[in-house]
Structure 1
């Protein structure tokens, strides 16, 4: 049994957990409030054999997580998880007050109760922006008060072999009673493209059913206007290349004003994909068109661009599955973060 024990909080479909496990961590517990995500974890017996529970983080406080893992405070190696961050997403408009923002402080409470040797927390770039900065500063103060050195770095998944532009803050804490040794993983120089990742997949069937032997590799039906739009675009082109008669009224304003530059776009074969979001299954929501076929990328292609294994299963309906895939930490990136934490611990032991 590994000494590198891990609790995966806010586990989602298991992208972070899968990568950490590949790095050598022993996951003792995953939990998420979303029962569909937990069903997905349980559906993947090939990859996961640990307990996975439908639970809110509040349910794990007051000693519950320690009890489930049969551990004492300070015994756990790593607490992982990315509290939901829509409250300070840059794509969100409206009030800065959002109950979901308070989840990061519940995470700090869980850190305090478990007192793991390390913790890792993933979050969107907005946490360090106008909406999230105050929350982030308060969180860091709390974590330092508990007894952690807190490291913050903005990593782009494409620098770590993920075929996708995806910038996320990775916050790593190490207990100060163990010294300060943590170093983020260096970019590995592997630049994987859309072609490398999905170029060998057959074209999905025209009737919208799964391609035989490739679950979730199916085409979404496009409306007549969206078919005209995608046919007007070459690989790598977005809405700025569409003739005016094919633009929706809300997109006739310059993209620098409205912000959403890449609606109605095609991916480019020899580049990385755009960020795979929770609605990547919709051609209207981003640059999610296939490079040369007249369709949006399939759910399976989105999962591959997120570096999930080909045989990884997802539960729920189409929207549920796209959300699970888009919200996940790419396992390939998670694995390198996990390795960097284990290496940090080993360096400490060697000195």
Structure 2
């Protein structure tokens, strides 16, 4: 079982020396660098990454200074800008593609082709034609499979010499992440007869819990901070919020326990259980709910601490996304929360890459 000590003790992946002999990888739509971290931890040498978000770029460079980072809209990116990062005589083994998932999310009313971000994932094919990675791994929400874009992706990859495998629905909680987060993983490979080899095996029932990830962190009151960890700072809650949190039972309680005078006006006269995650507390011995960009706001979901009368901190959110404690984030608090909430859980992707390496030893 992974414990908080695991998160604290993980060391930085090699950036030189022995890393020069590692297989080569590239990270498209890299965000703040969670996938790069996962690939490096599993033995890859990430040589280039792309993202158009300025703050994500600052964070990425802080943690992966040896990687060629291109802050650019992928639609205007030329393959030559990435080819220069691949060492002479080396082949690109793996290309990770974690395109924006909002266009395919059930929570997005503009989902599908009407969302201008939807076709961005197709740019990976244009780059694959020039970079020729041996394998491509796509990570997105399950909703992408039913989209017209997914069918276009499959056809475009085939014309570029790649076969897209069957989509695999996975839950991060089954891959060492103390969080429930259902995703879609699909791989494309240039060796058509081999793609069927990649099947995500059933994982063990034992899960990493909120207690495993957070219990060793300093207890905090509203507005208090850990002097040794700036990310472990509680937001200062309004007095009415504190009264509500005090009335909600610890370890999994919900707003259904609020007396009438503390209920939110918009929640009154609704059925019991509606929107129960708002103001809800996490459970110590379960996994956390899916983190979003509002993961440090109790009005945005079940993001209250299991014990303390406050929302979880940025440090706690980063732990639940399995970022190592040494990871540095740039930006203000809302920008950091957005980076953490949008990230691919590091440990989930590391384990998936390990499965890929086992399926395809040449990678």
* Residue in structure 2 matching 1:36, options 37, 55, 67: 55
Asked if residue 16 in structure 1 is aligned to residue 35 in structure 2, the reply is: yes
Asked if residue 61 in structure 1 is aligned to residue 78 in structure 2, the reply is: yes
1 CA distance for matches of 2:145 and 2:194? 26
Residue in 2 aligned with 1:127?
144
Aligned length: 340
Contact 1:61–1:113 (Cα < 8 Å) also in 2: no
Residues 236, 88 of structure 1: alpha-carbon distance in 2 compared, 3 angstrom cutoff: same
Matches within 5 A, 1:179-198: 179-180=194-195, 181-198=197-214
Deviation at 1:215, TM superposition (A): 2.6
Residue in 1 aligned with 2:266?
250
* Residue in structure 2 matching 1:25, options 38, 44, 53: 44
Asked if residue 215 in structure 1 is aligned to residue 234 in structure 2, the reply is: no
Residues 13, 36 of structure 1: alpha-carbon distance in 2 compared, 3 angstrom cutoff: same
RMSD over equivalenced CA pairs, Å? 2.4
1 CA distance for matches of 2:266 and 2:151? 36
Matches within 5 A, 1:257-276: 260-276=275-291
Asked if residue 105 in structure 1 is aligned to residue 122 in structure 2, the reply is: yes
Residues 255, 215 of structure 1: alpha-carbon distance in 2 compared, 3 angstrom cutoff: farther
* Residue in structure 2 matching 1:286, options 301, 324, 349: 301
Deviation at 1:94, TM superposition (A): 4.1
Greater shift, 171-180 or 230-239, is seen at: 171-180
2 CA distance for matches of 1:207 and 1:223? 10
| Cα deviation digits, residues 9-32 of structure 1 (max 9, x gap) | 111111111111111111001121
TM-score, scaled to structure 2: 0.86
Task: Give the secondary structure class of the aligned counterpart of 1:216.
Answer: strand
Residue in 2 aligned with 1:237?
253
Contact 2:220–2:308 (Cα < 8 Å) also in 1: no
Asked if residue 82 in structure 1 is aligned to residue 98 in structure 2, the reply is: yes
Deviation at 1:156, TM superposition (A): 0.3
Unaligned 5+ runs, structure 2:
1-19
2 CA distance for matches of 1:240 and 1:137? 43
Residue in 1 aligned with 2:181?
166
| Cα deviation digits, residues 235-268 of structure 1 (max 9, x gap) | 212333434443334334647997x541111001
Contact 1:25–1:338 (Cα < 8 Å) also in 2: no
Contact 1:161–1:188 (Cα < 8 Å) also in 2: no
| Cα deviation digits, residues 81-135 of structure 1 (max 9, x gap) | 2111212222222464011001011122222332211111111233235xxx222
Residues 225, 127 of structure 1: alpha-carbon distance in 2 compared, 3 angstrom cutoff: farther
Contact 2:25–2:46 (Cα < 8 Å) also in 1: yes
Unaligned 5+ runs, structure 1:
none
Contact 1:144–1:150 (Cα < 8 Å) also in 2: yes
Residue in 1 aligned with 2:6?
none
Deviation at 1:67, TM superposition (A): 3.0
Residues 188, 27 of structure 1: alpha-carbon distance in 2 compared, 3 angstrom cutoff: farther
1 CA distance for matches of 2:219 and 2:121? 42
2 CA distance for matches of 1:22 and 1:207? 35
Asked if residue 298 in structure 1 is aligned to residue 313 in structure 2, the reply is: yes
Deviation at 1:222, TM superposition (A): 1.4
Task: Give the secondary structure class of the aligned counterpart of 2:186.
Answer: strand
1 CA distance for matches of 2:198 and 2:161? 15
2 CA distance for matches of 1:255 and 1:90? 23
Residues 134, 177 of structure 1: alpha-carbon distance in 2 compared, 3 angstrom cutoff: closer
Contact 1:263–1:287 (Cα < 8 Å) also in 2: yes
2 CA distance for matches of 1:296 and 1:157? 22
Task: Give the secondary structure class of the aligned counterpart of 1:266.
Answer: coil
* Residue in structure 2 matching 1:337, options 342, 346, 352: 352
| Cα deviation digits, residues 20-49 of structure 1 (max 9, x gap) | 11111110011210121121122225xx53
2 CA distance for matches of 1:136 and 1:64? 26
* Residue in structure 1 matching 2:133, options 90, 101, 116: 116
Deviation at 1:52, TM superposition (A): 2.0
Greater shift, 160-169 or 93-102, is seen at: 93-102
